[in-house]
Amino acid sequence: MKGRLYGIGVGPGDPELMTIKAKKTIEASDIVIVPGEKVEDSIAYRIAKGACENLDEMNLVALEMPMIKDKARLNEMHDRAARKIEKYLDEGKAVSFLTLGDVTVYSTYMYIHKRVVRDGYDAAIINGITSFTAASARLNTDLVEREEPLHVIPATFKVAGMAELLSLPGTKVLMKSGKEIGKVRDAIIAGGQKAMMVENCGMENEKIYLDAKDIPDSASYYSLIIIKEAQEEA
Amino acid sequence: MKGRLYGIGVGPGDPELMTIKAKKTIEASDIVIVPGEKVEDSIAYRIAKGACENLDEMNLVALEMPMIKDKARLNEMHDRAARKIEKYLDEGKAVSFLTLGDVTVYSTYMYIHKRVVRDGYDAAIINGITSFTAASARLNTDLVEREEPLHVIPATFKVAGMAELLSLPGTKVLMKSGKEIGKVRDAIIAGGQKAMMVENCGMENEKIYLDAKDIPDSASYYSLIIIKEAQEEA
């Protein structure tokens, strides 16, 4: 019998924000895949270790998922990673693949998932808490209420389109701003909008910025800006 | 010493999609508030019961959070609910308030949270899995990848603005369509877009629709439509 692949979101940082299902599925796996060059360096591994006491006694496999721009090379690496996992599945193994935050939102795991499903294997997604809802909770406020739309925008989105997206009604969440964060901050201030930022939410080096003008020129890849509409009293 | 209020997201339906933190916080509470007229009728209660074995032996309190349009009456009911909770907090109690999905996304709990914080009490948000990431996982696909924006739009948003939002780049999630779902379906088909729908995700009466034309004229309040851009091969 063929095995099964589980893409598992381990949430944004706090191990207790992992779901009961994520913890149980990891603990019942034959193999736990950790994205990165070395298991110990992976943030997803460190989060899971906080919830799964026996993780280090399990069969942990590091799998490089580099963020490179060369599409042909990237495709080739994803093909190779998928084949490696399919070999485990052919042996009937239950394989968990850890990913930060949630699996359905900007997760590189999905490149593997799609290939494995295309090749006729069984693969499932186990949700995790997304970074943007976690950042909002950390700020002790909601993202959206009533009829407000919510727009999640990766900063890699073309800057030309960005101004238009920033002017949409509702709450805007800017993700993965990292190196571009100075430009994003200037666009927010120029548009007269209010913003808050959480850097490395739920991690040891977490930082909170409650005012757009405090946002620095550069920040961690795990930085997230929340722009809310002016609120009426509820 | 004053107590503390916890707004707790119990996720979309499957009790195992509750976070470890949600389960622990509920179990350590003196009082568990359940939205609704009767405790037993509350979906959030039934989800929490699946994860917290001793929930029925705890101090459960039903609190009506009706969805009424009269703003003055609604404000008055929220004020009264907040005062009731503040009495518990004055007695030094730890109070958990259960809410479906996540707390930061369209949760009526936040009306209470804001009042309690304004009145000088301590209140915290414990995240839950949102319905839209859960629906995407249920469909075994992602919501967004790479530079795609994600737009979450409540169907109560003005229909005039809806056409504009539907034409945005990226993935669109339409929430709370319920009674309007026939109109929403027609707008999607008229715009030549592809859509999938999940009704009552993770619950016993869950239904999946993989094609826009299969979407019925009316559906449960807990219905969610996902509209994705045409994908290139990854």
User: Quick one: CA dihedral A222, A227, A231, A234, positive or negative?
Assistant: negative
| Most confident range, picked from B169-173, B177-181, B201-205 | B169-173
Q: How many CB atoms lie within 10 A of CB B71?
A: 9
Q: Which of residues 88-127 of B touch A (CB under 8 A)?
A: 102-107, 110-111, 113-114, 117, 123-127
Q: What is the pLDDT of residue B233?
A: 43
Give backbone dihedrals phi and psi of A157, rounded to 5 degrees, phi first.
-60, 145
Within an 8 Å CB–CB cutoff, is residue A234 touching chain B? Answer: yes
Across the interface, whether the CB atoms of B14 and A21 are under 8 A apart is answered yes
- Residues B63, B106, A159: CA angle, nearest 5 degrees: 165
Looking only at the bridges linking them, the beta strands covering A122-126 and A207-209 are unpaired
Closest by CA position to A10, among listed A203, A135, A18, B58: A18
Are the C-beta atoms of B103 and B109 separated by less than 8 Å? yes
Tens digits of residue pLDDT in A103-134: 999 999 999 999 999 999 999 999 999 999 99
Are the C-beta atoms of B232 and B145 separated by less than 8 Å? no
Which of B137, B168, B169 has its CB closest to that of A104? B137
Which of B104, B147, B234 has its CB closest to that of A142? B104
Tens digits of residue pLDDT in A5-56: 999 999 999 999 999 999 999 999 999 999 999 999 999 999 999 999 999 9
Q: What is the pLDDT of residue B102?
A: 98
Give backbone dihedrals phi and psi of A31, rounded to 5 degrees, phi first.
-135, 135
Across the interface, whether the CB atoms of A125 and B146 are under 8 A apart is answered no
pTM for the whole thing?
A: 0.94
% of residues, chain B, pLDDT over 70 = 95
Across the interface, whether the CB atoms of B126 and A137 are under 8 A apart is answered yes
Task: Report the side by side order of strands in the sheet with A31-35.
Answer: A60-63, A31-35, A94-99, A4-9, A122-126
Are the C-beta atoms of A47 and A23 separated by less than 8 Å? no
User: Quick one: CA dihedral B47, B51, B54, B55, positive or negative?
Assistant: negative
Which of A18, A133, A149 has its CB closest to that of B130? A133
Within an 8 Å CB–CB cutoff, is residue A156 touching chain B? Answer: yes
Task: Report the side by side order of strands in the sheet with A150-154.
Answer: A207-209, A195-199, A223-227, A171-175, A150-154, B150-154, B171-175, B223-227, B195-199, B207-209
Q: How far is Cα B188 from Cα B192, in angstroms, rounded to an integer?
A: 6
